Structures are given as structure tokens and as C-alpha cells.
Amino acid sequence: MQPELLAVTQGQAEYRLTENHPLRIAHAAGRYVECLDGTAWITAYGENTDFMLRQGQCFEVPNNGLMLIDAAGSGVVRVRLPADTEVPHGWAAFKHKFATELHGLLAVGFHLRN
């Protein structure tokens, strides 16, 4: 099951993850990842180790390479844009800017759930 986009709010998105189906984020510098449920497994370009987050723990991406976020089992993560990312006014403009900034070359569909 591909990562499922659960919610998009001002400057952040929440995803449900399942094991062996990572969320791919290119140009990830400055993003913050927070584990909301389960255990998240993060692999970041150029890092010598992977990072494991449990519920309530956060990680800031240290470089501008590719980041993979997987789950040990299943889980939910929140990905935030860097603090210095300007968000345009209006929902349509925000959605476009957010999708461009956060997903880059992301190979995951952009589906909103009501």
C-alpha cells in the first residue's frame, strides 16, 4: 500500500505508512518529520546511519538529498515544511506550492481525504 495522504494543513502534511512502502521526498533539506503513531524509519541521503522515531519524536532533515520515510509495521507521520518556506495566500496557490516544495520528485499520488 502506497503512503496515504491523510491531511494537509498550513505548512504540513500527514501520511499513513505501511512497511516496505516508503514515502520519498526529494530536496528534503529543513523538513521536520514527526512520528504520530507507530515507528518511523528514516533514511536520509549522505547520512551514515538510519534514524528510528517512535510516537512523539521528531527529526530534522540535515541535507538537501533524497529522504525515505518507512514504517516498522504501520504508522503515521507529519512532514513539515522548513520554517523559512513562504506560503502563498489562498488554498489553490497553497496546495500547488506545498505539493511542489514537499514532494519534489515524489512518486506518490496527491489525494486528499475528507
| pLDDT of 109 | 46
CA–CA separation, 67 and 79 (whole Å): 11
| Grid cell listed for 9 | 494543513
Q: How many residues are present in the chain?
A: 114
Q: How far apart (Å, rounded) are the C-alpha atoms in residues 6 and 81?
A: 16
Tell the CATH superfamily of the 4-103 domain: Jelly Rolls (2.60.120.10)
Q: Is residue 32 pLDDT above 80, yes or no?
A: yes
Number of DSSP helices (H) and strands (E) in the chain, helices first: 1, 7
The proportion of the chain whose per-residue pLDDT surpasses 90, expressed as a percent, equals 48
Residues 69, 107: Cα–Cα separation, whole Å: 13
The predicted pLDDT at position 84 comes to: 59
pLDDT category of residue 63 using cuts at 50, 70 and 90: confident
Q: What is the pLDDT of residue 21?
A: 94
Inform me whether the pLDDT recorded for 25 exceeds 70. yes
Higher pLDDT, 102 or 77: 77
